[in-house]
Amino acid sequence: MNSAKSYEEIIDHCQQLLKNSNSTRIINGDDLGEEFQGLEAYESADFNHPELGKIQINATRPEVRPPFEWLYEITVHNDPYMHFLVREKGNIVETYGKNVLPVDDSSAAKLLTWLKEI
């Protein structure tokens, strides 16, 4: 379980990055399944990290939660590829296909540092 402070800080940084981005786009749910037809599913924006390269942040809209259980999806398009979900449950996980691994406080701090460096 991540500390509440790092969890909230990561959420705050994701919100600010999306709010201040000139490239934030709305992804509609038409391609996500019948239950999402006509809905704006999530916001998405790409950012350039000075060392890691492209980092993509997606934020789900309330009307698609559930079935989506994540608030933010953070993808680091680097080698190694990293995929994080900031979940409504108050924790952060890293996913590899169907494998879901908890993110410890040290890894959450590293993720927060990366977001601050964008």
Distance CA(53)–CA(47), nearest Å, equals 8
Give the per-residue pLDDT at 66: 86
Write down the residue that tokens 């916001």 correspond to.
43
Distance CA(76)–CA(25), nearest Å, equals 18
Distance CA(50)–CA(74), nearest Å, equals 16
Give residue-wise pLDDT tens across range 63-75: 898 888 899 999 9
Neighbours of 105 (CB within 10 A): 14
Write down the residue that tokens 């940084």 correspond to.
13
Select the more confidently predicted residue: 32 or 40: 40
pTM over 0.85: yes
Distance CA(28)–CA(39), nearest Å, equals 6
pLDDT mean across residues, the chain? 92
